[in-house]
Amino acid sequence: ACGSNSTSGSSPSGTATGTGTGTAGASSLKVGMAYDVGGRGDHSFNDSAAAGLDEAEKKFGITPTEVTANSTDNDATRVQRLQQLAQNGNKAIVAVGFSYAAAVGKVAKQFPNVDFAIIDDASDASKGDNIDQITFTEQEGSFLAGVAAASTSKSGHIGFVGGVQNALIQKFQAGYQAGAKYVNPNVKIDVTYLTQPPDFSGFADPAKGKTAATGMFQNGADVVYAAAGKSGDGVFQAAKAAGAGHWAIGVDSDQALTADASVRDVILTSMVKGVNVGVFNFLTRVHDGTFKGGNTVYGLKDKGVYLSTTGGHIDGLKDKLAEVEAKITSGEIKVPSTV
Amino acid sequence: MNRWRRLGLNLAAPLLAIIVAVIVTSIILVLSGDPVGPVWKVFLSSPVEGAWARMLNDTAAFYLSGIAVAIGFRMNLFNIGVDGQYRVAAFAAAVLAGQAWLPGWLNVIAAILLAMLVGALWAGIAAVLKTARGVSEVISTIMLNAIATGLVAWLLTKVQADNAGSNSTGTKPIPESSHVPALPFLQTNISNIYGLSLLAVLIGLAYWFVVSRTRFGFDLRAAGQSDDAARASGIDVKRTAIIAMLLSGAVAGLVGLPALFGNDYQYGTTSQAGLGFTGIAVALIGRNHPVGVAFGAFLWAYLANQADSLQINAGVSVALVNIIQGIMVLAVVIAYELVRRLGVRMEQRQVAADLAAPSEPVGAQA
Amino acid sequence: MSSAEAPPAVELRGITKRFPGVVANKDIDITVKAGTIHAIVGENGAGKSTLMKILYGVQKPDEGTIAVNGEQVEFASPADAIAHGIGMVFQHFKLADNFTVTENVVLGAEKLHGIGTGARDEIQRISTAYGLHVNPDVMVDRLGVGARQRVEILKVLYRGAKIIILDEPTAVLVPQEVDELFANLGQLKAQGFTIIFISHKLDEVRQVADTITVIRRGTTVATVDPTSVTSRELAELMVGSALPTPQTEESTVTDEVVLSVAGLNLPSAEGGSPLLTDVDLVIHAGEVLGIAGVEGNGQAELVETIMGIHVPSSGSVTLLGKDLAGWSTRAIREAGVGYIPEDRHRHGLLLESPLWENRILGHQTEAPMAKGWLIDAGAARADTERIVTEYDVRTPSIDVTAESLSGGNQQKLIIGREMAHSPKVLIAAHPTRGVDVGAQAAIWDHIKQARREGLAVLLISADLDELMGLSDTIRVILRGRLSGTFDPATVTPQDLGAAMTGADSSKGAA
Amino acid sequence: MSIDTAPAPTSPPVSSQARALWSNRWVSIPLVILGGVFIMSVLRVVTGANDMNSSGAIGAALGLAVPIAMAGLGGLWSERAGIVNIGLEGMMIMGTWSAAYFALNWGAWAGVLGAIIGGAIGGALHALATVVFTVDQIVSGVAINIIGLGVTKYLADRVFGRMEGGGPTQSPGLPDLPTVTLPGSNFLATVEKHHWFFISDLAGMIGGLITNLSVLTIIAIVLVVASVFLLWRTRFGLRLRSCGENPWAAETLGVKVNLYKFIAVLISGGLAGLGGGFLAMVASSNYIEGQTGGRGYIGLAAMIFGNWNPLGMAAGALLFGYTDAIQLRGGGTTVHALLLLLAVIVLLVGVWQIVRRHRYWRGVIAVVIGAALLAIYFTTDTIPTQLTSTTPYVTTLLVMALASQRLRMPKADGQIYHKGEAG
Ligand SMILES: Nc1ncnc2c1ncn2[C@@H]1O[C@H](COP(=O)(O)OP(=O)(O)OP(=O)(O)O)[C@@H](O)[C@H]1O
Ligand SMILES: Nc1ncnc2c1ncn2[C@@H]1O[C@H](COP(=O)(O)OP(=O)(O)OP(=O)(O)O)[C@@H](O)[C@H]1O
Ligand SMILES: [Mg+2]
Ligand SMILES: [Mg+2]
C-alpha cells in the first residue's frame, strides 16, 4: 500500500525562508487547515499538524485559515469545508485526518489549481495530481515502543490501551505487539480499547483510560502504551498511582513535554508521529513551487516517526533501539501493520 | 377568538422564538468579546455553492429521524434509540447491497426493505422488553444504542472490504448499477440531492396520512393520550405500542440510506453518527407535526451548514451553532407558551367586554 | 362562639371570575353565618366550585371582596385561607395516592405536630374523636372513596379549620355513608364549626342545611330557608324547570336473554382476596338490571370483566348466545355492547382531543366512523353535531377539546356516543354522577327510550333513587359477590343499604 | 361511615419467625450481599478470572459509578418533584467546565463548588423553562443538553484556549483533591493476595471500597444517604415529594409548589454538575471536551433502575460501574467468565419457571438460551473486544428484563402544573 512515492522528508530546519516565490507579507501563501475533531490545542494529533503550520508561518510567512471538524460530520460537510476553504482563495489546503479522504478526492478535482494534503490516508479515494497523501509508518515507531516496553518490563507483562478500535489504532497495536515479542517472545500483552467507532469518546475519556491501565498495572503489567489521545492522561495517572517501576508510553507528540507536569516522570518515552514534519514539508513544497501529488510516507528513516528520549529513561536502550531501527529500515525486520 | 387573530398568534410564536434566539446569542457574543455583526452576516449570507443541496440532504436525514422519534412520541414512547436503530439498519443495508445479489434497482429496494426490517427489529427489542417485562424504553433504547455500536463494530470486522492505504474500514462498496441517481436539480459537480432523499417526502406523507386519517393512527393517538381511555375503547394498548415502536424503528432504518446510496456507497467508520439525537430535537421543535418537523429539520440543517462559514468568515467557534440550536429549541416552546398565555388573556378581556350582554356560562375554550 | 352578634363567618361581595370564553362567577353575594351549615346549589357549570376555590385562595377573583369573621381578607394562596381557619374538601379529592394517610394529612401543616409519631398520634386522636376510622399508616391508593373522603375531612380538621367547605361530598357515598357524614357535620356544627357544602341532591340539602343559596349561570339568584321550600321549588330556582323524578314505567322486559354471566371469578392481581366470586346474572332485552353497592366491592371489576378488559379465572360471559371468552374489548363493543365508564375523565374521554374525535373513540372500527381502514372524519363530525343537538350538549363548537366541557356536558356526549350505535346491551356505570338535575333527567329519558326499544341495560349506580327509579331488577354487590334479587317497587333504600354494607345477611340469598 | 366495607388491603401472611427475620432489611440485605460474594467466589475459582472481584476492580467500579450516581441522584431529586430531567448530560458538561475554571482560579475545593454552580446554572435554566414557563420538560431537557455542550465548548475555546497547557478542547491540569484510605486496608490487601476462597474475595471487595478514596467519592456517598434522609425524613422532603406525586393537592394545602420544584431542579443540576466535576477533577485531571461520554443518560437509566430511590439508584450505578470496570480492566477473559454466570442464572430461571411456575414455554426458552450460552462459554475462551465494550449495557438490560420489578415513578412526574388550576 504505502511507499509507492516515498520521499525522504527534508528536515524542518533545512528549508530557509526566501527560497520560494513568495515573501512574507506581500503575497503570502494562503493556507487552509481543516482539522479533525478536537482541533488546534488538542495537545496531540491536531496540534502536531498545527505545529507544522506555525513553523511554515514563521519560516516564510503564510496566511492561515483554520477550521475544525465536528463529531457529527458527514462526508458532505467535509466536502463543504474543503470547498469553502478553496473558494476563499487558499492555495494550499491540509486535511488533517483520514476521515477527509473521500472529501479531498472530490474537492481536489474541482479545484485543480489548489494543492491539497491529506494526513493518514493513501487510498484511491484521495489520489490525485494535486494531492499529497501524507502517511506514517506508525507500526514501525510502535515496534520500537514495544521493544522499549518489553526491555524495560521486569514482570514480562505489558499493556496497550487503544482509544477507539479502528484500523489506524490497530496499526499501533500491531507494531507494539510485534516489537515486544521481538524482545521477549513470552511477553504477556494486555490489550484494551476504550470505545468502538463511531463512539469516539474513547479518545477523550481519561476516566476510562485510567480504569483500564490501573487494571493492567494491578494485574502485573509494568509498562502500558497509550494510543488513546486524551484518554492517555488517565493512563499516565494510573502509572503514577501504581508507583515506582510502572511506566507509560505516550503517543503522537513527546508527551513527557506536553502532558500534565505531575505525570511527566512516568512517561518512559513517546512514539512521536511527525505530522508537523509532513505538513511543513507539504507547505514548503507548495511555497517553493516544487509540489507534486502522490503518497509521501514518513517513517523511521526520516524521523517521521521516532521514540522520544526526554527524561532519559530509555537512554540505556539506545543501542538496542538503534539496532532494531536499522533492521527495520533495511527491511530485515518486517513490521506488521494489522493485528 | 377570531380566526385571523389566532393565525396571527400562531405565526407570532416562531417569530418570537427567532428574535429571542438572536438576542440571547448576541448577548453571549458581546459578553465573550466576539464580533456580533459578522456572525449574523454569516448566518444571513447566502451559503456557498452547492450548500443548498447539502442542506436539503441533511434536512431529509434529520426529517426521517425526526419522524421516527415523532411516531414514538405520538404513542407517549420516548424512542431515544433511533440512533442505534439507523446505524444497525444502514450497516445491514450496506452489507446486503454490497453483495450485489440482485441487479440495479432491485438491489436498492431489497436494501431499503432490509433496512426497515432491521431498524424495526432493533426497536422491537425495546418494544418487547417494555410490553412483556415492563422495562422503560428510555433505559432500553439508551442501552441498545451502545450495544448497536459494539455489535456493528464487531460485524464490520467480519465483512470489511479491503481498502488499501486507508485507515477507515467499511463494508464492500455498493456496485455502480445500484447507485441511486441524484435528483435533477441543484446539481453541481461536487454536490447534489441524493435520490433517496425522496424517501423523506414519502415518509412524511405516509406519516401524515396514517396518523390523521387511519384507524390505526387514531388508536395510536388515543393510546398516547390516555392508556385507560384507549383500553376502555377497545384498543389493544400493548399491541399498539409494539406496532408504534416497530414503525418508528422501520422509519429510523431509512435515516442513513440517502447518503449510503447517493454518496458513500459503503457503511464504515466514517459514516455519519448522531443523527438519531438530532431527530429528537427536530421532532420536538416540530411538535410531532409532519410539516413542523420539516421546518425543524430544515432549520437544523441550515444552522449546521453555516458552521464552517462561522469559523472561516467570522472566526468564531462552531460551538456557537450548538448554542443557537439549543436556544432555538427552548425559545420555540417558550414562545408558544407565552403566545398561548397571551391568547388566554386576550380572550378573558373579550369576555369582560362582552359582560354587558348576558352570556351563556358554558363551553370554555382551552 | 356562634352567638347571634358574631360577625358572619364568610361574606362574599360582588365576586366575579372570568375564564376564557366564559364568566364563571358574576357579582356573587353570599353571607354565611357562623356556626351554620350553608348549602350552595346550582346546575353543572353554574360556578359553585369556582366560587369555593376563590374562597379557599386557589383562584383569585377578578372583582369583589371576601371577609372572614368580619375581617376583609385577600388570599394569595390556600396557605392564607388555611391561616384564616378555612379548610376545603374538593369535589375531586386532592390526595397523593402513593403517600400514606399520615403523609397526606401532615403535608403543609408539618409545623403542628411534626411528620413523625407526634403527627400520627394526633391523627389517631382526631380520627377517634370524630369517628372517622382512618388508619394513619395505610397508603391512600388502597383506600375506597368513602375512606378517602374521611381522610380529606381529617386533613381539614387537623389544621384546625373552623370554616369547612365541602364540594359535592355525597356524590360518591351510599346512604349510610351519607347519614354518617351528616351526623358528623351536625356534630361539627354543634362544636361551632361553620360548614359550606355543595350538592346536587336537593333532598339531602334540605335535610341538613340551615340556609341554601342558589346559583344560576354564575350569579346568586336566591337565598332560602330549607324548611320553607320544596325540592321542586329549589330545582325551579336552579334551572327554571320542573324537578324530574326517575319513574319506572310499565315493564318492557322480554324473555330474550341478551347478556348472561355465569360463575364468574376474578382473582386479585396482588394476591389478595378475589375481586369477583361466582357472579351470575342474566339481563333480558328491555330490562334494566341495577347493581347497588359500596364503591370498591367489585362493581368496576365486574364491568371491566364483561368488557373484556380483565380476564376471569373461570366462568363465562354470554352475549346473545355467543360465549365471549377470549374476545377483545373491541370485538365485544363491535358485537353491540355500549359502555359508559364510571370515570369519564380517565376511561371515557380523550380530554385533549376535540369533541368529534371523542365521538369516534370506542367506535373507530364501526360505520359510519370508519370506512375500511380509514377514519371518516366527515361522518364523525356530522354525527357529533347530531349528538350535540339531540342531547343538548352545551358547547360553542365540536372543535373544542373535551376537557373544556363541564362534567355534565361531557357525560351527555358520552351517552350520545354510546347510544348512537344502537347497542344491544348498555353497560352504564354511574351515568349521572355529578350531573345536574336537568341533564340527569335527560339521560334517564334516553335510557328509558332505549329500553323500550329492547335494550338490555346493566346499571351501576351509587344513587339509590336512580337505581330504584330506573331498574327492573336490583342486585347488590358485596365483596365481589352478588346478592339475590330485589324488586325496586317494594325495596326501601334502608333495605338496600343494609345489604350493601353486609349488615343484613338474611336478604337476598340467591 | 364507620363500617369499612371496601375490601381491606391484605398483607402477606407472616408464617414464621424466620420469615419475619428475612423480611427485616437489616438482615436480608447483608445476606444477599454475602450470597453475592459467595457466588462470585465460586465463579472466580471455576473460571480463574481473578480480577472479577479484586479490590482493584471494586475500587474502579466505585470510581466509575460516582459520576453516574451523581447524575442519577440529580435526576431523582428533580423527578421526585415532578420534573423530568433529560438534561442531566448538559448539566454534567457544564459541571466539568466550571469545575476546571474554578479550580484553576481558586484551587481544588473551589473547583468542587464550581462544579455544583455550573450544573446548577443548567438546572436554573431547566427550572425557568419548565416551572416558570411550564414548557414540555423533555423539550427543555434536550435543549439544555445542546446548550450545555455548546456553551462549554464555546467558553473552553475562549478561556482555556489561551491558557498555558490548555486548548480549546481541554483545560490545563487541575489541582488535586485529597484522597483517603481507611484503616485496615493493608491487612485486607494481604488477605486478598492469598486467593483464599471466599475470605480473600470478601477482603478484596471490602478493600476496594476503602482504599484510596477521593474525598469526592466520600461526599458522593454521603449525598446519597443524605438524600434518603432529606427526602423521606424531613418536612422539606415531604413537601418536595408531594410536588411530584400530586402538586394540585400540595397546592391546596398551601405548599409553594413552584418554589419546591424550582429548588429541586436547582439541586438536581448541582448534583449532576458535581458528577461532572468528579470527571474533571478526580477521574482525570482536567476538563476535556466530551469527557462525560453520555454518563448523564446512564445516570437517568440508573435512577429508573433504582425505582426513583437513592439506594436503588446507587445500586444501578454500581452495577454499571462494575461491569464497565471489569470490561475495561480484564477485557475478554473476565467478561467471558461472566458469561458462565449468566448461563447458569438463565438455566436456573428456566428450570424454576418449569418446575415451580409451570410456565413451560418460557421455561424451555430460557433453558435453551442458557444452554446456548453455556455452549458459547465452553467453545470460546474470550469475547471479542468490540463486544466486551457492551457489557455494562447488556447487563443493565438483562437485569432489568429479569428482575421484572414493578417500577413506579412519581405519579405527576412530567406533568405540566399551572398554579391556580387545582380542582
Ligand atoms: N380553570 C378554568 N378554566 C376555564 N374555565 C373554567 C375553569 N374552571 C371552571 N371553568 C368554567 O367555569 C364554569 C363554572 O365552573 P364550576 O366548576 O364553578 O361549575 P360547578 O358549578 O362547580 O359545576 P359542577 O356542578 O359540574 O361541579 C364552567 O363553565 C367551567 O367550564
Ligand atoms: N383549564 C381548564 N380549561 C378549561 N376548562 C376547565 C379547566 N379546568 C377546569 N375546567 C372545566 O371546569 C369545570 C369545573 O371543573 P371541576 O374540576 O369543578 O369539574 P366538574 O365540572 O365539577 O367535574 P365533574 O362534574 O366531572 O365532577 C370542568 O367541567 C372542567 O372541564
Ligand atoms: Mg363543581
Ligand atoms: Mg361536577
pLDDT above 70 covers a percentage of chain D that reads 92
- Tell if the CB–CB gap between C395 and B355 is shorter than 8 Å: no
> Residue B227: is its pLDDT beyond 50?
yes
Bigger pLDDT: C222 vs A11: C222
Answer yes or no: do C418 and C430 share one domain.
Answer: no
Nearest chain B residue (CA) to D128: B334
Residues of chain A with pLDDT under 70: 1-27
- Co-location of C160 and C58 in the same domain: yes
* Whether the predicted pLDDT of C309 surpasses 80: yes
Cα separation, A265 vs A313, in Å, equals 9
**Interval B78-101 mean pLDDT:** 95
Is residue B348 domain-resident? no
- What's the confidence (pLDDT) of residue C200? 78
- Per-range mean pLDDT, top range of A145-159, B31-45, B176-190: A145-159
Cα(B154)–Cα(A43) distance, rounded to whole angstroms? 30
State the pLDDT at residue B166: 83
Range of weakest confidence among B173-182, C11-20, D400-409: D400-409
Q: CB of C144 within 8 Å of any CB in chain D? A: yes
Nearest-CA residue for ligand 2 atom 16 is: D423
Residues of A in contact with B273 (CB under 8 A): 71-72, 198-199
Q: Cα–Cα distance between A73 and A95 in angstroms, integer?
A: 14
ipTM exceeds 0.90: no
Whether chain D has a CB inside 8 Å of the CB on A252: the answer is no
Residues B193 and B307 in one domain: yes
Q: Which residue has the cell 378573558?
A: B348
- H/E stretch holding C22 reads strand C22-32
> Which CATH number characterizes residue B287's domain?
1.10.3470
* Count of structural domains within chain C: 3
For chain B, how many residues are written?
366
For D250-257, what is the mean pLDDT? 92
Q: Report chain B's mean pLDDT, rounded to a whole number.
A: 88
Of C422, C451, C471, the position where a domain reaches its end is C422
Q: Is C7 left (phi over 0), alpha (psi -120 to 50) or beta?
A: beta
Checking if the pLDDT of D39 tops 80, the result is no
**Do B81 and B5 share a structural domain?**
no
Test the B interface: residue of D138, D139, D421 with most B CBs within 10 Å? D139
Under the banding of pLDDT at 50, 70 and 90, the label for residue C282 is very high
Q: Is the pLDDT of residue C402 over 60?
A: yes
| Residue D174 phi, psi (nearest 5) | -100, 155
Residue B280 lies in a domain: yes
C-alpha to C-alpha distance for C339 and B141, rounded to whole angstroms:
37
Domain co-membership, C301 together with C227 = no
pLDDT at B3: 62
CA quadruple D286, D287, D289, D291: dihedral sign = positive
Cβ–Cβ gap A166/B168 under 8 Å: yes
Q: With 80 as the cut, is the pLDDT of residue B243 above it?
A: yes
Residue C1: inside a domain, yes or no? Answer: no
Comparing CB atoms, the residue among C348, C351, C395 nearest residue B363 is C395
- Of C402-411, D165-174, D198-207, the range with the lowest mean pLDDT is D198-207
SS3 content of chain B, % helix, strand, coil (to 5): 75, 0, 25
* Span from the CA of D253 to the centroid of ligand 3 (angstroms): 19
User: Which positions ≥6 away from B23 have C-beta within 8 Å?
Assistant: none
Whether residue B73 sits in one domain with residue B20: no
Of C80, C272, C502, the CB nearest to D10: C272
Over residues B276-324, the pLDDT tens digits come to: 999 999 998 888 999 989 999 999 999 888 888 888 888 888 888 888 8
Q: Domain for residue B343, yes or no?
A: no
SS3 C173: coil
Q: Which has more confidence, C247 or B77?
A: B77
Cα(D301)–Cα(D313) distance, rounded to whole angstroms? 9
Contact state of B167 with A167 under an 8 Å Cβ cutoff: yes
Q: In the structure, what pLDDT confidence band is assigned to residue C113 with cuts at 50, 70 and 90?
A: confident
Residue C2 lies in a domain: no
Inside any domain, residue B92 = yes
pLDDT of C507 strictly over 50: no
More confident residue, B180 or B12: B180
Asked if residue B221 is part of any domain, the answer here is yes
Of the candidates B213, B359, B363, the beta carbon closest to that of C404 is on B363
Cell of B222: 388515543
Average pLDDT, chain D: 86
CB C256: neighbour CB atoms within 10 A? Answer: 13
Is the shortest distance between the CB of C480 and ligand 1 below 6 Å? Answer: no
> What is the rounded (10 degree) CA torsion for C493, C497, C500, C501?
180
Cβ of B263 within 8 Å of Cβ of A295? The answer is: no
Domain boundary among C388, C422, C456: C422
C331 shares its domain with C364: no
Q: Name which of D329, D314, D328 is nearest D271 in CA terms.
A: D314
* Closest of B142, B152, B135, B133 to residue B79, by C-alpha: B142
Cβ contacts of B344 on chain C, cutoff 8 Å: 20
Q: Are residues C22 and C131 in the same domain?
A: yes
- The answer to the question of residue C220 being in a domain is yes
Kindly state the cell numbers that stand for A4.
Answer: 509507492
* Inside any domain, residue B141: yes
The boundaries of the domain holding residue B80 are 43-314
For residues A218 and A231, what is the distance between their CA atoms, to the nearest angstrom? Answer: 19
Nearest by Cα to A305 from A145, A118, A101, A95: A145
Q: Whose CA is nearest to atom 5 of ligand 2?
A: C404
Give the confidence band of C244 by pLDDT, cuts at 50, 70, 90: low
CATH, residue C312 = 3.40.50.300
Which pLDDT does position D6 carry in this prediction? 39
pLDDT at B351: 64
Q: Which of C422, C438, C472 is the last residue of a domain?
A: C422
Structure-model confidence comparison of residues A159 and C3, the more confident one: A159
Give nearest CA residue, ligand 1 atom 24: C44
Which of C374, C399, C414 to mutate to probe the B interface, most B CBs <10 Å?
Answer: C374
Reported for C25-29, long-range contacts at CB under 8 A and 24+ positions apart, including other chains, are C25/C50, C25/C51, C25/C54, C25/C61, C25/C218, C25/C219, C26/B355, C26/B361, C26/C217, C26/C218, C26/C219, C27/C64, C27/C219, C27/C220, C28/C64, C28/C215, C28/C218, C28/C219, C28/C220, C29/C220
Taking only the tens place, the pLDDT of each residue in D303-343 is 998 999 999 999 999 999 998 998 888 767 788 888 888 88
Residues B257 and B330 in one domain: no
Phi and psi torsions of B241, nearest 5°: -65, -40
C-alpha distance from D88 to closest chain A C-alpha (Å): 18
pLDDT score for C270: 65
**Assigned C-alpha cell, A271:** 512514539
Same domain, C349 and C234: no
The reply to whether residue D135 touches residue B136, judged by beta carbons under 8 angstroms, is: no
Instruction: Determine the structural domain holding residue C258 and report its residue range.
Output: 246-336+424-509
Query: Exposure string (b/e) for A259-275, b if CB count within 10 Å is 16 or more?
Result: bbeebbebbbbbbbbbb
Q: Is D230 on the interface with C (CB under 8 A)?
A: no
One domain for residues B260 and B309:
yes
Q: Which one is predicted more confidently, C258 or B359?
A: C258
Closest partner residue to D328 (CB to CB) among A71, A200, A208 is A208
Q: Does A4 touch chain B (CB under 8 A)?
A: no
Q: Quote the number of domains for chain B.
A: 2
> Please, are residues B299 and B291 in contact by the beta-carbon 8 Å criterion?
no
Predicted model pTM: 0.88
Same domain, C79 and C135: yes
Q: Is residue B241 part of a domain?
A: yes
* For helices B319-353 and D137-159, angle between their N-to-C axes, nearest 10 degrees: 140
Nearest CA residue ID for atom 19, ligand 1:
C45
Mutation target for B interface from A80, A168, A339: give the one with most B CBs within 10 A: A80
Ligand 2 center from residue B364 Cα (angstroms): 9
Same domain? B210 vs B87:
yes
Of the pLDDT bands very low, low, confident and very high (cuts 50, 70, 90), residue C506 is: very low
Q: Is B352 within the bounds of a domain?
A: no
Q: Do residue A85 and residue B165 have CB atoms under 8 angstroms apart?
A: no
Q: Does chain A reach chain C with at least 3 CB pairs under 8 Å?
A: no
Q: What confidence tens digit (pLDDT) does each residue in B260-281 have?
A: 999 999 998 888 888 999 999 9
Contact C151, C134 (CB under 8 A): yes
Please list every protein residue whose CB sits less than 6 Å from any atom of ligand 2. Answer: B 364, 366; C 44, 49, 91-92, 403-407, 434; D 421, 423
By C-alpha distance, the chain B residue nearest C367 is B215
D328–A contact, CB cutoff 8 A: yes
Overall average pLDDT of the B240-245 stretch? 95
Does the residue C3 lie in any domain? no
Q: In this structure, are residues C169 and C199 in contact, taking their beta carbons and an 8 Å threshold?
A: yes
Averaged pLDDT score across all residues of chain C? 86
Which single residue is written with the C-alpha cell 394476591? C271
